[in-house]
Amino acid sequence: MKLITPGQHCDDLARALPAFRRAAGVTERWGAALARVLSDGGRLLVAGNGGSAAQAQHLTAELVGRYRDDRPAYSAIALHADTSSTTAIANDYGVHEVFARQTCAHGRAGDVLMLLSTSGASANLLGAATEAMRIGMPVWSLTGPAPNPLAAASDEALTVEAGVAATVQELHLVAVHMICESFDREIAARAARSERPRSADGRPAEEDLA
């Protein structure tokens, strides 16, 4: 077993951070897009395995609960969290179907599926991506180094270029928080726009047009 020191752990993270910072602009787009989808009655489905399942469920907790400031609750479902459905599907159809079948049950065209995987090669996540595409759901993924099958099967992917799974998962959590920051900014902006006074024809009042 190869063990590393706390300093080496931090060094691994520091080496991966510059490339992550350059690529992480995608989180701004995802957060804003997600705010629009969820505000209009859509939902987010997320899934992962092991540590990635924990990261995915962290995201749903921030959306159903709150990230920083108080705001309305939004629909976000962690597919792996339904243990009865997950184990029933695994028993009857196979582990590779556990997320695809739930995506079929809960997903609707225009909803969003986000998948998290350090390897980018999990068969059950690839099955969910295929099912989401069939339904008409955009697929976003957080993965480890590219190229990998899940990134290729997604509409858009944020890949963490690190050879250590722990580093990938740590930066996935950073990405989750950045998505939440962007989400809350867009929600606040939409609320501000809806509160502007309107003229009789529905356009913004004159003082807003000055």
Sequence-distant (≥ 6) Cβ neighbours of residue 187 within 8 angstroms: 35, 39, 71, 72
Percentage of the chain lying above the pLDDT 90 cut: 88
Tell me the per-residue pLDDT of 108-157, one tens digit each, with 9 for 90 and over.
999 999 999 999 999 999 999 999 999 999 999 999 999 999 999 999 99
Which long-range contacts link 92-95 to residues 24+ away (Cβ below 8 Å)?
95/123, 95/124
Amino acid 159 reads T
Tell me the per-residue pLDDT of 10-35, one tens digit each, with 9 for 90 and over.
999 999 999 999 988 999 999 999 99
CA angle 163/156/188 to nearest 5° reads 110
Spatial separation of the C-alpha atoms in residues 141 and 73, rounded to whole Å: 23
What domains, with CATH codes, occur in the chain?
44-187 (3.40.50.10490)
* Mean pLDDT for all residues in the chain: 94
Does 8 have pLDDT greater than 60? yes
Residue with the larger pLDDT of the pair 106 and 4: 106
Mean pLDDT, residues 184-196: 91
Spatial separation of the C-alpha atoms in residues 84 and 80, rounded to whole Å: 10
Sequence-distant (≥ 6) Cβ neighbours of residue 188 within 8 angstroms: 71
Mean pLDDT, residues 33-42: 98
Does 201 have pLDDT greater than 70? no
Mean pLDDT, residues 24-52: 97
Sequence-distant (≥ 6) Cβ neighbours of residue 166 within 8 angstroms: 9, 12
Cβ-contact 43, 76 below 8 angstroms:
yes
Question: Over the Cα atoms of the chain, what is R_g?
Answer: 19
CA 74, 79, 85, 87 torsion-angle sign? negative
Mean pLDDT, residues 72-88: 98
DSSP 8-class letter at 113: E
| Chain mean position to CA 207 | 39
Taking alpha carbons only, the member of 35, 49, 57 closest to residue 118 is 49
